[in-house]
Amino acid sequence: MQRVAIVDPSEASRESLRTLLLGVDFVWLEAECARYEYFFDVIEQQGEMPDLAIVALDADKAKALYMIGELSIKYPKLAILTISQDHQALLQSLQRGAKYFLTHPVGLEDMLAVLRRALGESSGSIGDQPSNGGMVRQQGAKQMIAVLGSRGGVGTTSICVNLAATLSTDPDNTVALVDLDLALGDADIAMEVNGMDNISIADLARNIERLDMNFLRRALVRHEGTGLSILRHPMEIQEIGVLHEGHVERILNLLKMSYSHLVIDLSKSLRPTDMMALRMADTILLTAQLELSSLRNVVRLIHLLGSEDLADKVRIVINRVGSDTVEEGISMKKAEEVIGKPITWQIPYDPKALIAARIAGEPLVRHNPKSRVQHAIVGLAQILAGKPAAPLVEAKSKAKWNPFGRK
Ligand SMILES: Nc1ncnc2c1ncn2[C@@H]1O[C@H](COP(=O)(O)OP(=O)(O)OP(=O)(O)O)[C@@H](O)[C@H]1O
Ligand SMILES: [Mg+2]
């Protein structure tokens, strides 16, 4: 935990600064001061010097700049961050010893980025914090996975929910599932979740200008068994028009700072909101099954994604492998030929396990961790983490299923 002290004579902006900082787990707001001339006393009364002093300049620029000059002479190691709407004043504060600045009004994203830099530089430890506690994560561990169905009902949401829940059980991960299937999404039905406030992604969009980490956290409902957080689709279908791609960009960027993994369940309408998530994702899982219409759409979607320069991120996952009712006699090899891309992973057909888990309101990792679908989901999670997937035990009844793709 890094200690921060703020000085800002304006009560309103001090209040919003406080709210902003309260939403950041790795920061401890040690002292607040309403007068520039008392700031020395306030920080000297603390047991130790704070790691960072935040000085809002606009209430009285001359006094604030004078104090910064004194502060940087007396405590040359103290990092100083200044905030103002006046660029000239910000420049002067840098000349007097401040090291970082932000333009007023300050957004959470910018504040987090500066705090991360300022405090990371002072201690070198932000990225190495215990992964569960810290709100800002090591860059390398982050992953945004967008999951796109090649047609309705292929199992996209089932894969999203179970993959996200599986990733959540790793204590090194913090995972959020984002339901961008805005009109008809149902990710929140698959698991029993707790949420105090009924806030959806539409409410976040409506409040995008004053979106802070506290509000964002309140919008995410939590599944107790796995710790997975879910950002739900809008409650009313009429609300989907509220959301545009800029909202999605902002919300995903904020979530990225707080979670190690984002799993995004997309709609199949390829709305601008879906396209934004596809552009931002590190990996696009394209879900399909071994039947003609689904595979034809895989080809069409890869073509579309190729035109957006996104084809390299696509990984194809075939679901319901081994189902006589779904498959149309198309082999995995034939499917790969048609698609012109390797199939990354396969998930077996197991309606019993999925239905029972859904009725129980639990993901498979909790309800039936030994099921074949869950084994395949674990393998998918390992592959996405860049690890070789553990060999899976071939099921007796469905000898046709071969999780490693080509036969
Ligand atoms: N591997 C599987 N084996 C058996 N049943 C499955 C499998 N995957 C998904 N299902 C079942 O298929 C149905 C549709 O699944 P799901 O809702 O995940 O599909 P979807 O692609 O998200 O659908 P939509 O297009 O409506 O968003 C559900 O009843 C689910 O339990
Ligand atoms: Mg779905």
Supply the residue whose CA is at minimum distance from atom 11 of ligand 1. Answer: 155
In a domain, 395, yes or no: no
Q: How many domains, the chain?
A: 2
The residues near 116 (Cβ < 8 Å, ≥ 6 apart) are 126, 136
Domain that holds residue 36: 2-128
Which residues sit with Cβ closer than 5 angstroms to ligand 2, an ion?
156-157
Asked if residue 229 and residue 117 are part of one domain, the reply reads no
Q: Is residue 403 part of a domain?
A: no
Do 105 and 155 reside in the same domain of the chain? no
Rounded distance, CA 358 to CA 360, Å?
A: 5
Report the distance separating Cα 129 and Cα 150, nearest Å: 39
Residues with CB under 6 A from ligand 1: 149, 152-158, 181, 319-320, 347, 349-351, 354-355, 358, 373
How many residues make up the chain in this entry? 407
How confident is the model at residue 338, as a pLDDT? 92
Q: Domain of 366: which CATH number?
A: 3.40.50.300
Distance between Cα 124 and ligand 1 center (Å): 45
Closest ligand 1 atom to 152 CA: 25
- 148 residue type, one letter: L
Per-residue pLDDT of the chain (407 residues; tens, 9 = 90+): 678 999 999 999 998 888 888 777 678 788 899 999 999 998 888 767 899 999 999 999 999 999 999 999 999 999 999 999 999 999 999 999 999 999 998 888 888 888 888 877 655 443 333 332 233 333 334 799 999 999 999 999 999 999 999 999 998 899 999 999 999 999 988 887 776 567 889 999 998 877 766 678 788 998 988 999 999 999 999 999 999 999 999 899 888 877 889 999 999 999 999 999 999 999 999 999 999 999 999 999 999 999 999 999 999 999 999 987 777 788 999 999 999 999 999 999 999 999 999 999 999 999 999 999 999 999 999 999 887 776 544 443 343 445 444 44
Burial (CB < 10 A; 0-12, 13-18, 19+), residue 279, is middle
**152 Cα to the center of ligand 1, angstroms:** 9
- CATH classification at residue 65: 3.40.50.2300
Nearest residue to 389 (alpha-carbon basis) of 405, 401, 407: 405
- pTM of the full structure: 0.73
Alpha helix stretches (DSSP H) within 201-309:
201-206, 213-219, 245-258, 272-280, 292-307
Same domain, 321 and 239: yes
In a domain, 271, yes or no: yes
Smallest-distance ligand from the CA of 149: 1
Q: What is the rounded distance in angstroms from the CA atom of residue 305 to the CA atom of residue 311?
A: 5
